[in-house]
Chain A
Amino acid sequence: MKKRGYGIANMWYGIGNTANHNPSGAFVDILDDGTAIVLTGCADIGQGSTTVLAQIAAETLGINIEDVVVVAADTEVTPDAGATSASRQTYVSGNAVRLAAKNAREQVLAKASEELNIQAERLSIYQGQIWVGDNPSGVMIKEIITQCRSEGVLTLGHGSFDPVTTKLDSETGQGIPYATYAFATQVAEVEVDTETGIVEVKKIVAAHDVGKAINPQNVEGQIEGGCSMGIGYALLEEVVVKDGEIQGPGMSTYLIPTAMDVSEVYPIIIEEYEASGPYGAKGVGEPALVPTAAAIANAVADALGIRMYELPLTPERIIATIKRK
């Protein structure tokens, strides 16, 4: 018989390393033609940080994203930006790039202020042009940079950011382990075959508070990918170690979800502005995976009326649990 069940799970997750310094640095160089190079140690392993950092630099500098080149994760030329881990790169390296771009922008605006004889506070840059209040000045940043160069002035900005944390008290465990947190709720719908023990995840609705979603499509991709990993964690994946040897060392023996194993995923992005984040952003990498297995296990418990305490929920375990009952 096929039984349907629904489960819900909530999570909160700290962004950045736990109760420890984890700074990122960045350089932003505005070139003679008004384009910019961003140097960051942030490694993009597919989550899209290079795109997000280009967006942050472009937004801060007031130039088009097509005019930003990001040189990332090259220890020969880029400043340290820590590990791509702890769901920290958008928040920590994003802030470093924002501050470096702000620093470069201030240099351009200082020169523009001299040239236009207008206070720098009244000036801004938008689409490569200097603006005075709400009006375009007609002067492109390229012209200001040319002026800088003729005077031997570079427009090179630097920035760094380290999340504000404290050590935890060794007696009480109290302190500030993280500067900010991501929050999420996921709901899973499953169908359990009581004869075969096979669990099919039909649907996952995943609501994630990410601060500002700098690139909503990337955020969705992270949530969908996290849910897929969570399905694997809940139903398929088990690292078995025997006498110090991993028993499933290959993809034929350690199964991860294929396109036939994943469910429909409905990401819901909640944008709760985080004051300390770059343009309000936090992180989403690991949070996307954290509640999924719990939601699925709760859904299986709802379907069967039996709670299981060991993952993955393999057909063998499901059948054994049903029989025991």
Chain B
Amino acid sequence: MAEFHLEMKVNGKPIVLDVDPGLRLLDVLRDILHLTGTKEGCGEGECGACSVILNGKLVDSCLVLAPQANGQEVITIEGIAQNGELDSLQKAFLEAGAVQCGYCTPGMILAAKVLLDHNSTPSRLEISKSISGNICRCTGYTKIIQAVEIAASRIATKEGADHA
């Protein structure tokens, strides 16, 4: 099959590749760009381990064909730390003990990031809903929800300070 000329932005960097058009975005990220923070879980869009942010929306990268990402902007877990400093969500996950085996963590953090980007003062129910497409078998979600609450309150405090 003819290769597909793919141009996209990944974590702010322009990427130009010729790829098999049957590849999933997940395969391009992991196997070609070696961004292995994105995990493959079920491979059928149920578990959310492969979540990435595509043009501001959370998607399962196992359900996105590489050509569908053409001209789009992708953010993976590798792309949210700024200048070597962890994102507020990453810090809060560590602090709350929200990481156990860690397999769901990249997807969870990105799901929470999309939530907080749109709603910086979410309720507990809104947090649960926003991560309900991301399955975690170890933590029981309690500390993940607490971590998102911690990050939200930090962001609110910081925004308050910025406005002052």
Contact = CB atoms under 8 A, between A and B. Distances in A.
A224 B44 contact: no
B145 interface: yes
A265 B142 CA distance: 7
Contact of B138 (A221, A252, A259, A264): A221
Contact of B140 (A47, A218, A224, A260): A224
Chain B at the A interface: mostly helix, strand, loop or mixed? Answer: loop
Interface stretch (B6-14, B29-37, B128-136): B128-136
A245 to B, nearest CB: 18
B119 interface: no
A45 interface: yes
B97 A251 contact: no
A128 interface: no
A250 B101 CA distance: 20
B42 interface: yes
A203 to B, nearest CB: 12
Nearest to B96: A217
A45 to B, nearest CB: 6
A224 B137 CA distance: 10
A260 B128 contact: yes
B141 A228 contact: yes
A25 interface: no
Contacts of B134: 258-259
Contacts, number: 79
Interface in A101-132: none
Central interface residue in B100, B131, B142, B143, by most chain A CB within 10 Å:
B142
A250 B140 contact: no
Interface in A235-256: 250-252, 256
A225 B138 contact: yes
A221 B135 contact: no
A46 B138 contact: yes
B152 interface: no
A48 B132 contact: no
Interface residues of B, number: 27
Contact of A259 (B41, B46, B102, B144): B144
B47 interface: yes
Nearest to A227: B140
B42 A225 contact: no
Contacts of A252: 42, 44, 46
Contacts of A227: 140
Contacts of B139: 221, 224-225, 228
A105 B96 CA distance: 33
A246 to B, nearest CB: 15
A259 B137 contact: no
A209 interface: no
25 contacts: A221-B138, A224-B140, A224-B141, A225-B137, A225-B139, A225-B140, A228-B136, A228-B140, A229-B140, A250-B42, A251-B41, A251-B46, A251-B47, A252-B44, A252-B46, A256-B137, A258-B132, A258-B133, A258-B135, A259-B127, A259-B128, A259-B129, A259-B132, A262-B140, A265-B140
Given A224-B142, A251-B135, A265-B140, 12 more contacts: A46-B100, A48-B100, A221-B100, A221-B142, A225-B139, A229-B140, A251-B44, A251-B46, A251-B47, A252-B44, A259-B136, A260-B128
Interface of A: 45-48, 217-218, 220-221, 223-229, 250-252, 256, 258-260, 262, 264-265
